[in-house]
Amino acid sequence: MAAQDKRVRANKILRKSTAVSVSVALIAILITLPYILPAYGTALLISIFYAVILAISFNLIAGYAGLFSLGHNLGLGSSVYAFIFLINMGIHVLLSGFIAFFFTVALAAFVGAILIRVRGAFFAILTLAVCQIAMAIANNTYELGRAFGLYLPTTMVWSTQSSYYAMLLLMLVTYYLSYKVVNSRFGLALHAIRESEEAASAIGVDLFKTKLLIFIISSVPINILGILHAFYYGFTIPIVFGLFIALQMQFSAIVGGLGTLLGPIIGSVILTLSSNLLGLYFPGVSWMFYGVVILVVMTLLPQGIWGYVSTRVKK
């Protein structure tokens, strides 16, 4: 028995060290890529990182907490708009960043507190409703640039390389965040809530607090992403609140595997790469392809690609 325990532990250490070394190797590759690839390759990778960050955040709230949010890009739009608005008012970059960040966190807390009282389909549609209302406000308010949107002064826009590293860093931090959340006691509480809310509250989980907390936590990466968005693209238009981005976020996470750590990454990589490259060579069908992939995956592999792989491969 003791010998077997030792071997199990040894395997665990072996797995963990392999995982660590693989991760380090991967990060090293990602760091050097901008020097090898042309700017387009870097830009494509930035698009992938963008999608990954969105997908992981969505996964936190939908996959682990079971709260399906159709409007999770509220934080994205709010932070971009707030940030650029403050900068155009002449406020210093760092201060603008902080204010924008805390503003969006407060907004997430506010919206979350109101909305998490409802469940399932309603939560999904209400989060969408909030986003659509935000879009209407952005579209109609003169100070927010109406349909023109808001622009960052061109001198403040980051180069592709700088944006790449910022996005890479954010993506790694987001992944680490999701890893920590999932493997903590808080993560267990989330798991309990996802399985059965009644049972969870029966064992003493504070439903409201837990759900609110995950709502806020999962929108933090998105808020920061909004600020990076401002630096990379240099402008924002009301569409950032739209259904389009929300859909991309969800589909990446779902196709990859909701409720798994690596699922969102794999889903984002596959969907972003394929729709971008498809769009180049077969214009007109990239969205169609999206729809078909979604249907196929949901029919054949409802747990998502990585979800399927990880259930097949026993621990």
Q: Check residue 157 and report its DSSP letter.
A: P
Q: Show the tokens assigned to 173.
A: 């931090």
The DSSP code for 154 is G
* Identity of the residue, 38 or 90, whose beta carbon is nearer to other proteins in the bound complex: 38
Closest to other proteins by CB, 70 or 214: 70
Helix or strand holding residue 151 (H, E)? strand 150-151
Closer to other proteins by Cβ: residue 204 or 280: 280
Nearer to other proteins, 102 or 244 (CB): 244
Minimum CB–partner distance for residue 210 and other proteins (Å): 20
Rounded-to-10 torsion of CA 294, 241, 173, 258: -30
How many Cβ atoms sit within 10 Å of the Cβ of residue 178? 23
CB of 253 to other proteins, least distance (A): 10
Smallest separation, CB 202 to other proteins (Å): 20
Hey, what amino acid is at 118? V
How far is it, in rounded angstroms, from Cα 280 to Cα 159? 24
Closer CB to other proteins, 146 or 173, in the complex: 146
Shortest spacing between CB 185 and other proteins, in angstroms: 25
CB of 140 to other proteins, least distance (A): 4
Closest CA to 208 of 106, 116, 125, 109: 116
Spell out the residues 6+ positions from residue 16 whose beta carbon is closer than 8 angstroms to its own.
Answer: none
* In the complex, minimum distance from the CB of residue 309 to other proteins, in angstroms, rounded to a whole number: 7
Closest distance between other proteins and the C-beta of residue 137, in Å? 8
- For strands 150-151 and 235-236, give the pairing: antiparallel
- Please give the structure tokens belonging to residue 152: 């960052």
**Of 129 and 173, CB closest to other proteins:** 129
In the complex, the smallest distance separating the C-beta of residue 79 from other proteins, rounded to whole angstroms, is 16
Residue 165 or 279 with smaller CB distance to other proteins: 279
Q: Which is nearer to other proteins, 14 or 169 (CB)?
A: 14
Residue 147, Cβ density class (10 Å: 0-12 exposed, 13-18 middle, ≥19 buried): exposed
d(CA 244, CA 241): 8
The angle formed by the CA atoms of residues 134, 140 and 145, to the nearest 5 degrees, is 95
* CA dist list (Å): 175 to 120, 156, 164, 170, 253: 26, 28, 16, 8, 13
